[in-house]
């Protein structure tokens, strides 16, 4: 089974757009996302463009802020302070990575937790770990939504997560181990001596390491579910752009053994963007003193509902 995040994201975005319409009617304004881009990293430019396009599709306003690569940390922090106190802004997204002279953690911590639609702030990560209501990091949240949609149960399952990033690996593990998700989770990383022995045991493997062919067919048990978080640019002269997008998984070989697998592109990526939109709506609702479920938008789903 191919787990199409692309298809699911279209469904989810339709529900979110209905809720955004309902929000706009009730509060006479659209939810608003501030999108902060530093420098001209080509991948970041592409991601930011896709995020703004999704805002426009769904009825979310976006406030665009761009800086040269040379911006100082203090200037960036004062921009964030301004967005924190701007009543028209519900969510703040600072596209990562940032130039090496800027401390990403300082920037993440500067964003008001209520506007932290990436779910990267220590307060949101801490709440997530404790199983409390928070804004949840978009990629792990999108992966859970894929598993739910395709009725892949996690309770009692062994899940192996490859990669210990703050953005994916750590919050993914925290979500899966919560009551209700009930998975037994192992995280492998660059210092794990025998990654294959861990992945081979797993019912579900989540590859989030950032290099091609990190998960090959010999590392996967027959019938496992495979989630590919990687978005790697590999040179490809047959493409107009000069590169092709490849995941972390050797898709052709692994898909012959897996019972279900996400493709790249068209898997986790579109769900990450859909979840960013959902978090923006959630942040906007909470700033108005309601939960998204209270919108009664008739979307017919616990859209905005949570993990
Ligand atoms: N860079 C790569 N992924 C992400 C993401 O999910 N959010 C932000 N802000 N930057 C990223």
The enclosing domain of 40 has a CATH number of 3.40.50.10860
Q: What is the mean pLDDT of residues 81-85?
A: 98
Which two three-digit tokens encode residue 220?
A: 């996967």
Q: What is the mean pLDDT of residues 17-27?
A: 96
Q: Give residue 74's pLDDT.
A: 98
The structural domain count of the chain equals 2
pTM: 0.96
Q: Give residue 71's pLDDT.
A: 98
Only one residue has tokens 């307060």, namely 123
Is the beta carbon of 96 within 6 A of some atom in ligand 1? Answer: yes
In a domain? residue 283: no
Query: Pairing between strand 243-246 and 232-235?
Result: antiparallel
Ligand 1 centroid distance, CA of 296 (Å): 31
pLDDT value at 278 more than 50: yes
Domain that holds residue 264: 138-268
67 touches 39 (CB < 8 A): yes
Is the beta carbon of 92 within 6 A of some atom in ligand 1? Answer: no
Ligand 1 centroid distance, CA of 187 (Å): 21
Ligand 1 centroid distance, CA of 273 (Å): 10
pLDDT digits (tens, 9 = 90+) for 126-172: 999 999 999 999 999 999 999 999 999 999 999 999 999 999 999 99
Residue 91 CB-density burial (10 A; 0-12 exposed, 13-18 middle, 19+ buried): buried
pLDDT digits (tens, 9 = 90+) for 190-206: 999 999 999 999 999 99
Quickly list H helices, 66-137. Answer: 73-85, 104-110, 122-130
59 and 155, same structural domain?
no
143 and 264, same structural domain?
yes
Only one residue has tokens 């990575």, namely 97
pLDDT digits (tens, 9 = 90+) for 39-52: 999 999 999 999 99
CA–CA separation, 173 and 114 (whole Å): 23
Nearest atom in ligand 1 to the alpha carbon of residue 93 is 9
Is the beta carbon of 94 within 6 A of some atom in ligand 1? Answer: yes
Which two three-digit tokens encode residue 200?
A: 């081979």
185 and 77, same structural domain?
no
Active site residue ranges: 51, 95, 118
Is the beta carbon of 95 within 6 A of some atom in ligand 1? Answer: yes
Q: Give residue 300's pLDDT.
A: 59
Q: What is the mean pLDDT of residues 19-32?
A: 97
Q: Crossing angle, helix 5-27 and helix 138-149, to 10 degrees? A: 110
Is the beta carbon of 138 within 6 A of some atom in ligand 1? Answer: yes
57 touches 17 (CB < 8 A): yes
Nearest atom in ligand 1 to the alpha carbon of residue 167 is 6
Could you give the percent of the chain with pLDDT greater than 70?
97
204 and 84, same structural domain?
no
Is the beta carbon of 93 within 6 A of some atom in ligand 1? Answer: yes
Q: Give residue 304's pLDDT.
A: 43
∠ CA(226), CA(95), CA(109), 5° rounding?
A: 100
Q: What is the mean pLDDT of residues 170-187?
A: 98
Ligand 1 centroid distance, CA of 279 (Å): 14
In a domain? residue 274: no
238 touches 201 (CB < 8 A): no
- Please say which residue of 114, 147, 176 terminates a domain: 114
Query: Which CATH number belongs to the domain containing residue 257 in this structure?
Result: 3.40.50.720
Residue 235 CB-density burial (10 A; 0-12 exposed, 13-18 middle, 19+ buried): exposed
> Whose CA is closest to atom 2 on ligand 1?
96
∠ CA(301), CA(297), CA(268), 5° rounding?
A: 45
In a domain? residue 294: no
Helices (H) and strands (E) in the chain, counts: 10, 10
Only one residue has tokens 């924190």, namely 84
Averaged pLDDT score across all residues of the chain:
96
């Amino acid at each position: 089974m191919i787990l199409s995040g692309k298809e699911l994201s279209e469904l989810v975005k339709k529900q979110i757009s209905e809720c955004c319409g309902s929000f706009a009617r009730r509060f006479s304004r659209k939810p608003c996302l501030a999108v902060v881009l530093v420098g001209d990293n080509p991948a970041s430019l592409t991601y930011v463009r896709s995020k703004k396009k999704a805002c426009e599709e769904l009825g979310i306003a976006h406030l665009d802020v761009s800086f040269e690569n040379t911006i100082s940390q203090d200037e960036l922090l004062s921009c964030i302070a301004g967005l924190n106190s701007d009543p028209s802004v519900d969510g703040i997204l600072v596209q990562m990575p940032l130039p090496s002279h800027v401390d990403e953690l300082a920037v993440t911590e500067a964003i008001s937790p209520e506007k932290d639609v990436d779910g990267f702030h220590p307060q949101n990560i801490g709440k997530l770990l404790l199983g409390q209501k928070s804004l949840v990091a978009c990629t792990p949240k999108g992966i859970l939504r894929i598993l739910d949609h395709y009725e892949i149960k996690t309770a009692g399952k062994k899940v192996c997560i490859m990669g210990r990033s703050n953005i994916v690996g750590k919050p993914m593990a925290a979500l899966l181990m919560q009551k209700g998700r009930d998975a037994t989770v192992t995280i492998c990383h660059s210092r794990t001596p025998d990654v294959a022995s861990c992945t081979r045991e797993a019912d579900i493997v989540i590859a989030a390491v950032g290099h091609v062919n990190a998960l090959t067919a010999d590392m996967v048990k027959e019938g496992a579910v495979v989630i590919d978080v990687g978005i790697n640019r590999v040179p490809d002269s047959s493409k107009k752009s000069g590169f092709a997008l490849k995941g972390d998984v050797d898709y052709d070989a692994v898909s012959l053994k897996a019972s279900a697998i996400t493709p790249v592109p068209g898997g986790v990526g579109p769900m990450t963007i859909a979840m960013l939109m959902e978090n923006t709506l959630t942040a906007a609702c909470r700033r108005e003193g309601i939960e998204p479920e209270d919108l009664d938008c008739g979307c017919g789903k616990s859209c905005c509902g949570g993990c």
